[in-house]
Structure 1
Amino acid sequence: MTTSAPTAEQEARVDRALAELVRGEAAWAACDLPRRARLLEQVRAATAAQSEAWVRAAAAYKRLPDGSPLLGEEWMSGPYPVLTGTAALAESVRALAGGRSPVDGFSLAEAPGGRVAVRVLPHGIHDRLLLSGFSAEVWMPPGVSAARMRERAGLGQRRPERTAGVGVVLGAGNITSIPVLDVLYELYAHNRVVALKLNPITDGLFDVFSAVLAPLIEVGAVRILTGGADVGARLVHHPSVGHVHMTGSAATHDAIVFGAGAEGADRKRNGTPLLTKPVTSELGGVSPTLVLPGAWSEADLRFQAEHVATQRLHNGGYNCVASQVVVIGSDWAQKDRFLTHLRAALAQAPTRPAYYPGSDDRVRQALDAYPDARVLDERVLVEGVDPSAPGPLLTTEYFAPVLGVVELPGNAREFLDVAVRTANEDFAGTLGVNLIAHPGTLADLGPALDEAIAELRYGTVAVNAWTGVGYLTANASWGAFPGHTVDDVQSGIGVVHNAILLDGPERTVVRGPFRPAPRSLVHGELSLSPKPPWFVGNRTAAGTGRLLADFAAAPRWSALPGIFASALRG
């Protein structure tokens, strides 16, 4: 990575933090499982205490005004997943402390190809009520038996005294829960003490993160640093550091591992990285949404168009798993009506500042590559992309509000076959893929649907849900499809979240209702969920998000009526 040299003060700060972590590793090794579970509960309590300040700090750098419904995104992707994640991880640690497997209490099923699937959502009555109609399974690789999975679950907490040195986490700049969740995964899954280097975009969260992670900082297991690429380079190349984990883009990964510019490209071609220590990563890519043809009502078309717009525009489009290309049927009789509703959903979504660096430049690059694209209130929609010559839409992650449309022929089954092949072979990255299909179409497909899911090479597959639900599910795994290497990293190496600490999960499969309540009930879907609070057009998202975070901090029956009332008004 080509950077300016850090100042003497920065070098001293990095060296001091790493020296403290080297000493702190012994203190972490001395923490038995009951104490580690208590530390997670303390982090959870600190998160609850800091949640208001957390959302304010995130809103400040994203320039979201007070009272905006978009603040719901900050509640639901900031403190909420840390609150649920610490609770789930503490449950796993307590299971291990009691001589049980973290998998105990979760139902198992068979998935195609000799796979074992662990049902991680719903997990308990509260999930069944708050996420009615949603489910998630973690699929293990073919050939991993249920007994072997159970035996290996627990990862680094199976032998807590055997710590694994010092790791660096290079924090994300978009979703604010990522840095904290990544630190927890390094500590608990891999048993490494952690130096967290914040992305400069999130420096305003330094005080919040310091308070949230204070129990682990006091033990000596975590240190937080700020600074630019120069500080990051000092950290990752430091001899005290044995492992690096990062969230970002494949291009940033390659700059860190091989160096920037032509010299870095030469090193990558020659297989001679600058950074030779192990690197894991959660990176982006070009996530597709496959819309299967079927007989939809006008309300279905409108709702699913807003669903797709949400998959692109949540957090302004600055999500590693934001949908970038919608794949629809060229022979679908309702194609034109769906596109009409999609244009309206993109144009009517709330406006927000382009806070992420380089966003405007990436939008201009998309418009240069596709001069016939529509501009809908600063969102770019590229229709009629030729799948045989798609250009950068399928190979370049824009990380901006740019959405393309690719059309493929055939009825539902024929379309699914060719869409799966296209998603696997022509799209950059393997982080997540969405499928949207009418319940009647799913019934007609039968076992072919699960076979298609098994064939898709993506770390999270969502059916009638957004893959972001997988991110929010603490016990689900999150990361690229396994098999990538540093010289062809795609969407990354390894997984995070995975609070039941499964060893080597293959993917997460999320399913949701095709329609919101009450239409779902009218049409025979067993789901009470209204329009999800993460939808960009949800009018009560801020209030619902705050209530959900409050409930995650202290689950209680008395809070449920208020959550339901707020969600129904959305």
Structure 2
Amino acid sequence: MQDLDVRAVDVAVNELVEGEKRWGATTLPQRRDLLLKTRDLTAKHAQEWVDAAVELKKLDPSSPLVGEEWLSGPYVLANSLTALAETIDRLSKGRSPLDGAKFHDVGNQVVVDVLPTSIYDDLLLSGFSAQVWLQRGVSRAAAKADAGLAQLTPSKTGGIGVVLGAGNIMSIAPLDVLYELFAHNRVVALKLNPITDLLFPVLNKVLAPFIEVGALRILKGGAEVGGALVNHELVDHVHMTGSALTHDAIVWGVGDEAATRKSAKDPKLTKPVTSELGGVSPTIVVPGEWSDADLKFQAEHVATQRLHNGGYNCVASQALIVSSDWKQKDAFLNELRKAIAAAPARTPYYPGSDSRVATAEKQYPHAEKLGPNGGRLLIADLKASSDEPALSGEYFAPVYGVVEIPGVGADFAVDATRTANEEFAGTLGVNIIADPSDISALGDAFDEMIEKLRYGTIAVNAWTGVGFLTPTASWGAFPGHTIDDVQSGIGVVHNAWLMDRIERTVVRGPFRPSPRSVLKGEKSISPKPPWFVDNATAATTGRRLTAFAGDHNPLRLPAIFASALRG
């Protein structure tokens, strides 16, 4: 069977050679139509998609946790297809995707507002916003002129790209395919992670418009198929989502071979590689005076950042940075223990999860065992040092640590920033939790904190996962990594406005849910977000949001609000 799978690689790649010619001849209006047809198919087959994800993740079909599969699966893909179709439509009319966008300057950097972009964003994500920061030296005029990337010259194709799909979040693979097709104008061979083989039939249905035009082929198989693809002489580029270890095995080999090749700067894989590889994402809690309700809600927020999807997210928070001088530190940590313990039980579906938890137990024998069967670890006394195993490597499992550093106010902000930048592995995402009154009191010190954090997505009073769900935001590591020091990866994806030379995305959300947010003067009417692991109506809300993403029928909104308010 494996031989047949490997032979299928040759067939797929040779079909893509011909498909590249058809893709190059496909006009911008035709490409827009392909995107909209794919969005329609996403909505049509959304239930089948979610059913497959529920089966492979061993979720109870009646559990609110199924909402995770709606939101991080067909919902985000449908929204991304709509946003990308709007970009292609503007380009087809000789306009920039950034026409009408709001620009700001932060220091010597240009910043673009990417959320909200419509009245529906204002309603469904009230109080949430996002900005893309462009790299220093990019002017507003250059940003507008360069937006569109390879779609500025659609007939000039970029060869064949391989996408090695992720095994954890079901929209990653199709979203990465879209970025290859549109940002780089490459036709794509998508190799699914074997964990997601159950998605093979539905993804073929959803992505049929691109398969039929010859721009995409989807393959299954193990490491031999992946190896045959990335090393195929007709393949021009590789994009992967996974771990830095997997990246290095593909690029440099393993064991002595890898060490020899790295020292000689002689990679095993010589074609260009981009990647999204996760890391050890911190959550920084700025000390303040919080109510009991604030302590409880933000503890649930942090628990979600760790336990969403069972903890198998590249941007899952793995450690808290908290002030040892915060008077409410112990009260918050007690609420966090409760939230981690009370989060719904689920099967550890991702391969190797139990062994990684066992490794953490050996490294930290005093770790607290929380939740069902004590399967969630809390390590309450990590040193602020890259020598700590919990800060130097991603567990990709329900293991959470706490780092205490001294200070309050600006002193804490400076030290927390340094700790996150210098002692944590990776640069994919960082979360900051702070009462709006404390943000105001910090003033320039808080702004400097945002500016100096070297992460691809920074979320203030939101989880960085909101950046993943925002089609017009970028997703990827902070720029500057190389294949011999890859950390959280190279390049970005998503970015539906196809902006060039991106540095980071900054997401902001409300500190409190409605109605407390309104009573405290926050401009938000959002209730508890549906991605919270303890949201009681997440499955219903996610299903209804997905249906709305498929057709933008405003008559669907009352039912969405009714479900969300019960969460």
CA offset digits 1:20-66 (Å, max 9, x no partner) = 00010000000010000000001101111110000000000000012
Once the two structures are TM-superposed, the CA of residue 266 in structure 1 deviates from its matched residue by 2.6
Which residue of structure 1 lines up, in the alignment, with residue 545 of structure 2? 548
State which of 5, 9, 23 in structure 2 corresponds to 1:14: 9
How far 1:154 sits from its partner (Å)?
0.2
Percent identity between matched residues is 62
Which residues in structure 2 correspond to 1:449-460 (within 5 Å)? 449-460=446-457
Unaligned segments of structure 1, at least 5 residues: 1-5
Do the aligned residues in 1 keep the contact of 2:320 with 2:403 (CA within 8 Å)? yes
Counterpart of 1:3 in structure 2 is none
1:421 to 400, 411, 418: 418
Q: Write out per-residue CA displacement over residues 417-448 of structure 1, whole angstroms, 9 at most, x where no aligned residue.
A: 00100111111000000000011100101132
Contact kept in structure 1, 2:386 and 2:423, CA below 8 Å: no
Displacement of 1:385 in angstroms is 1.0
Aligned to 1:148: 142
Tell me the amino acid that sits aligned with residue 63 of structure 2.
Answer: S
Cα deviation digits, residues 216-274 of structure 1 (max 9, x gap)? 00000000000000000000000000000000000000001011223223322331111
Residue 333 (str. 1) matches residue 333 (str. 2): no
Partner residue of 1:393 out of 380, 390, 396: 390
Distance 2:484 2:427 in 1: 15
Counterpart amino acid of residue 267 in structure 1: R
Tell whether the 8 Å contact from 2:385 to 2:391 is kept in structure 1 after alignment.
no
Bigger mean CA offset, 258-267 vs 198-207: 258-267
The answer as to 2:488 corresponding to 1:485 is: no
Q: CA deviation at 1:390?
A: 5.2
Unaligned segments of structure 2, at least 5 residues = none
* SS of structure 2 residue aligned to 1:119: strand
Q: CA RMSD in A?
A: 0.9
| Aligned-partner Cα distance in 2 for 1:414–1:98 | 51
Q: Which amino acid aligns with 1:535?
A: F
Task: Decide which of 361, 367, 377 is 1:373's aligned counterpart.
Answer: 367
Match of 2:25 in 1: 30
Name the aligned partner's letter for residue 37 of structure 1. R
1:8 Cα deviation after fit: 3.5
1:412 deviates by 2.2
Question: Counterparts of 1:80-95 in structure 2 under 5 Å?
Answer: 80-95=75-90
Of 493, 499, 502, 1:502 maps to 499
Q: Distance in 2 between matches of 1:84 and 1:321?
A: 21
Which piece of structure 1 moves more, 8-17 or 40-49?
A: 8-17
Answering whether residue 75 of structure 2 is matched by residue 51 of structure 1, we say no
Aligned to 1:205: 199
> What do the CA deviations read for 1:195-235 (whole angstroms, capped 9, x no partner)?
00000000000001100110000000000000000000000
Structure 2 residue 124 is matched with structure 1 residue 130: yes
Normalization by structure 1: what TM-score? 0.98
Aligned to 2:561: 564
2:210 is aligned with 1:216: yes
Are 2:233 and 1:258 aligned? no
Three-state SS of the structure 2 residue aligned to 1:449 is helix
Q: Tell me, what secondary structure is at the counterpart of 2:318?
A: strand
Counterpart in the other structure of 1:159: 153
Q: Deviations over 1:330-375 (max 9, x none)?
A: 0000000000000000000001000000000000010100111001
In the alignment, the residues of structure 2 paired with residue 210 and residue 232 of structure 1 have an alpha-carbon distance, to the nearest angstrom, of 19
Name the SS of the counterpart of 1:241 in structure 2: coil
Q: Displacement, 1:143?
A: 1.4
Counterpart position of 2:67: 72
Following superposition, which runs of at least 4 residues in structure 1 exceed 6 angstroms of deviation?
A: none
The one-letter code matched in structure 2 to 1:41 is L
Question: Which residue of structure 2 lines up, in the alignment, with residue 433 of structure 1?
Answer: 430
With 557-566 and 506-515 compared, the bigger mean Cα shift is at 557-566
What is the TM-score with the length of structure 2 in the denominator?
A: 0.99
SS at match of 1:9: helix
Is the CA contact 2:6–2:224 (under 8 Å) kept in the aligned structure 1?
Answer: no
Counterpart pick for 1:281 among 271, 275, 286: 275
For the residues of structure 2 that align with 1:325 and 1:69, how far apart are their CA atoms? 26
Q: State whether residues 307 and 533 of structure 2, in contact with CA within 8 Å, keep that contact through their aligned partners in structure 1.
A: yes
- Counterpart residue identity of residue 126, structure 2: S
Corresponding position of 2:109: 115
Q: When the two structures are aligned, how many residues end up with a matched partner? A: 564
Q: Which amino acid aligns with 2:238?
A: V
CA distance in 2, matches of 1:546, 1:42: 20
Give the aligned residue type for 2:160: V
Q: Secondary structure at the match of 1:289?
A: strand
Q: 1:10: how far off? A: 2.4
**Residue 179 in structure 1 maps to residue 152 in structure 2:** no
Task: Please give the alpha-carbon distance, in whole angstroms, between the structure 1 residues aligned to 2:119 and 2:18.
Answer: 43
1:324 paired to 2:324: no
Once residues 106 and 304 of structure 2 are traced to their aligned partners in structure 1, the CA distance between those partners, rounded to angstroms, is 29
CA distance in 2, matches of 1:270, 1:381: 41
Query: CA 1:373–1:146 in 2, change beyond 3 Å: closer, same or farther?
Result: same
Corresponding letter in the other structure for 1:486: I
Match of 2:241, SS state, is: strand
1:249 aligns with 2:243: yes
The whole-number CA distance in structure 1 between the counterparts of 2:3 and 2:418 is 53
Matched, 1:311 2:300: no
Query: Offset at 1:17?
Result: 0.3
Q: Which one is further off, 255-264 or 32-41? A: 255-264
- In structure 2, the partner of 1:226 is 220
- Tell me the secondary structure at the aligned position of residue 83 of structure 2: helix
